[in-house]
């Protein structure tokens, strides 16, 4: 099957090797006989209705976020419509912030957000950097761990009742205090974990691919055929152990 990916602002939001997430999607889809068709969606370009099964937006520094924020807000209706239609989303770091209601940077500038995720972000004066491990439950009764790397000054506050991506076992997470990391709205996932995220968390890559395939086919998500993930499992274990050795929140 052909999985259509809309990669938002790859020329701007591409810090910390987040492009590697696309490479993981391509490889894991290909090993199962599927084709990944990636379309860059840049400044001034529209998100065409029905043209994507998965949307991806990576991270950037304040300068790059400021360059794309207004253009992304202009795509707000299209993003909301896509998610309502069942399109999967992975938003990382700066992209995660901009898919909330907005980001207040250190210069006092308010960057508009899309409002997909129920949160707001304010820049802090101390960066939260290091390995992090989360406890996640994307499917009822299926608890998994996510391991990654975070490097952000933004403090993201989820609205009451919002669904986080996971609970922080070790690391900082959204704000260094709440014990939550990321946010989930249906098939849309936002997170501060990058470096990139998916090579050491193949189960999350497969979950997102399954959601995208469900959208492409019009069926319910199906469990994907397992792959031999020995190296990926080792990478996950090393990252998770580094986070546990590092300790807790602020």
Q: CA 20, CA 11: separation in Å to the nearest integer?
A: 14
Closest CA to 194 of 9, 56, 30: 56
Q: Tokens 């014990």 map to which residue?
A: 179
Is 183 labeled as catalytic in the residue annotation? no
| Candidates 93, 183, 215, 236; catalytic one | 93
The CA-based angle 134-139-143, given to 5 degrees, is 40
Q: Which residues are registered as beta bridge partners of 190?
A: 91, 183
Three-state DSSP at 168 gives: strand
Please state the φ and ψ torsions of residue 19, each to the nearest 5 degrees. -60, -25
How many C-beta neighbours within 10 Å does residue 35 have?
Answer: 11
Question: Which residues lie closer than 8 Å to 146 by C-beta, 6 or more apart?
Answer: 133, 134, 136, 165, 166, 191, 193, 197, 201, 204
Catalytic residue among 7, 34, 194, 215: 194
Report the length, in residues, of the chain: 250
136 is catalytic: no
First CA to last CA distance, the chain: 45
Quickly list DSSP for 25-80: HHHHHHTTT-EEEEEEE-TT----TT--SEEEE----HHHHHHHHHHHHHTHHHHH
Q: What is the set of active-site residues?
A: 93, 194
């Amino acid at each position: 099957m052909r999985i259509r990916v809309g990669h938002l602002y790859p020329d701007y939001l591409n810090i910390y090797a987040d492009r590697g997430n696309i490479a993981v999607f391509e490889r894991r889809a290909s090993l199962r006989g599927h084709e990944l068709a990636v379309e860059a969606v840049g400044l001034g370009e529209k998100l065409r209705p029905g043209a994507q099964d998965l949307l991806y937006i990576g991270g950037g520094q304040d300068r790059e976020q400021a360059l794309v924020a207004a253009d992304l807000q202009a795509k707000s209706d299209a993003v909301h419509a896509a998610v309502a239609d069942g399109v999967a989303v992975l938003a990382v770091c700066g992209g995660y912030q901009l898919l909330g209601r907005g980001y207040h940077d250190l210069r006092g500038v308010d960057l508009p957000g899309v409002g997909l995720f129920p949160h707001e972000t304010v820049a802090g004066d101390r960066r939260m950097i290091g390995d992090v491990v989360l406890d996640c439950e994307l499917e009822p009764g299926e608890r998994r761990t996510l391991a990654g790397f975070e490097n952000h000054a933004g403090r993201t506050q989820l609205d009451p009742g919002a669904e986080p991506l996971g609970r922080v076992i070790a690391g900082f997470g959204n704000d260094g205090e709440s014990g939550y990391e990321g946010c989930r709205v249906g098939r849309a996932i936002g997170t501060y974990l990058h470096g990139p995220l998916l090579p050491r968390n193949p189960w999350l890559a497969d979950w997102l691919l399954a959601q995208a395939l469900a959208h492409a086919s019009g069926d319910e998500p199906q469990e994907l055929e397992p792959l031999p993930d020995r190296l990926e499992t080792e990478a996950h274990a090393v990252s998770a152990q580094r986070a546990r050795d590092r300790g807790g929140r602020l």
